[in-house]
A and B are shown apart, each in its own frame.
Chain A
Amino acid sequence: MTPAAEEALGITAERRAVVSTTGGAPDGQWVIVTRGLKREYDMGGEIVRALRGVDLAIARNEYVAIMGPSGSGKSTLMNVIGCLDTPNAGEYWLNGTLVSRMSDDALAAVRNREIGFVFQTFNLLPRSTALQNVELPLVYAGVSATERRRRATEALERVQLGQRIGHRPNELSGGQRQRVAIARALVNNPAILLADEPTGNLDSQTSEEIMRVFEGLADQGQTVVMVTHEPDIAAHARRVVVLRDGLIASDESQAQFAARLAAPVA
Chain B
Amino acid sequence: MPFLDAVRLALQQIRVQKLKSFFTLLGVTIGVMFLIAVVSVVNGMGRYVERDFAGKFLGVNTFHLRKRPDVGGDYSEDEWKRMQQRPPITVEDAYAVRDGLPRTARWAIQDQRWGSPTTRYAKGGPQVLIEAATPGLFAVKDLVVRRGRAFGDQEAAIGASVAVIGQEVADLYFPGVDPIGREVLVDREPFQVIGVLEKQGTVFGFSLDRQIIAPFPSPMYRATRSRDNGLYGVVVQGANAAEQASLQENVREIMRRRHKLRPGAPDDFTLESSETALAQWLALKRYLVLAGIALPAIGLVVGAIVIMNIMLVAVAERTREIGVRKSLGARRRDILGQFLAESTALSVAGAALGVALGVALAAVVRAATPLPTEVALWSVLVSVGLGAGVGIVAGVYPASRAARLDPIVALRSE
* Chain A contacts to B: CB under 8 angstroms: 79, 82, 84-85, 104-105, 108-109, 111-113, 117, 119, 123-125, 127, 136-137, 139-142, 184, 188
Contact = CB atoms under 8 A, between A and B. Distances in A.
A134 to B, nearest CB: 10
Nearest to B13: A127
Contacts of B331: 104-105, 108-109, 140
Interface pairs A-B: 3 shortest CB-CB: A112-B329, A140-B329, A108-B331
Given A123-B320, A142-B2, 17 more contacts: A84-B327, A84-B407, A105-B332, A105-B333, A108-B330, A109-B329, A111-B328, A112-B329, A117-B327, A117-B328, A123-B323, A127-B16, A140-B1, A140-B325, A140-B330, A140-B331, A184-B328
Interface size bracket, B side: 20 to 34
A82 B323 CA distance: 13
Contacts of A117: 327-328
Contacts of A184: 328
A122 to B, nearest CB: 10
Contact of B327 (A111, A124, A139): A111
A105 B325 CA distance: 13
Given A139-B5, A142-B2, A123 B324 contact: yes
B331 to A, nearest CB: 4
Interface in B351-407: 407
Nearest to A125: B321
A111 B330 CA distance: 9
B411 interface: yes
B280 interface: no
B25 to A, nearest CB: 20
A154 B330 CA distance: 22
A217 B314 CA distance: 37
A119 B330 contact: no
Contact of A82 (B2, B320, B321, B327): B327
Given A85-B408, A123-B324, A140-B334, A108 B329 contact: yes
B201 to A, nearest CB: 56
Nearest to B12: A127
A51 to B, nearest CB: 14
The prevalent SS among residues of A at the interface is helix
A221 B285 CA distance: 77
Contact of B411 (A109, A119, A136, A141): A119
B328 A84 contact: no
A142 B333 CA distance: 13
A112 B407 contact: no
B326 interface: yes
Contacts of B330: 108, 140
B36 to A, nearest CB: 34
Contacts of B407: 84
22 contacts: A79-B408, A84-B326, A85-B408, A105-B332, A108-B326, A108-B330, A108-B331, A111-B329, A112-B328, A112-B329, A113-B329, A117-B327, A123-B323, A125-B321, A127-B16, A139-B1, A139-B2, A140-B1, A140-B329, A140-B330, A140-B334, A141-B329
A111 B325 CA distance: 11
Nearest to A105: B331
A108 B322 CA distance: 13
Nearest to B16: A127
A117 B326 CA distance: 11
A139 B335 CA distance: 12
Contacts of A136: 325, 328
A63 B326 CA distance: 25
Interface in B288-337: 320-321, 323-334
A84 B326 CA distance: 9
Contacts of A104: 331-332
Interface centre among A125, A139, A141 (most CB of B within 10 A): A139
Contacts of B325: 136, 140
A141 B330 CA distance: 9
Contacts of B2: 139, 142
A54 to B, nearest CB: 18
Contacts of B320: 123
Contacts of A137: 328-329
Interface string B187-198: 000000000000
B332 to A, nearest CB: 6
Q: With a 10 A CB-CB cut-off, give which of A111, A124, A140 has the most chain B CB atoms.
A: A140
A136 B323 CA distance: 13
Contacts of A112: 328-329
A162 B16 CA distance: 26
A136 B330 CA distance: 9
A179 to B, nearest CB: 17
Contacts of A84: 326-327, 407-408, 411
Nearest to A128: B12
A113 B411 CA distance: 19
B1 to A, nearest CB: 6
Nearest to A142: B2
A127 B15 CA distance: 11
Contacts of A109: 329, 331
B208 to A, nearest CB: 62
A112 B320 CA distance: 18
A124 B334 CA distance: 18
A13 to B, nearest CB: 35
A85 B412 CA distance: 14
Contacts of A119: 411
B334 A123 contact: no
A85 B321 CA distance: 18
B10 to A, nearest CB: 13
A152 to B, nearest CB: 13
Given A84-B327, A139-B5, A140-B1, A123 B332 contact: no
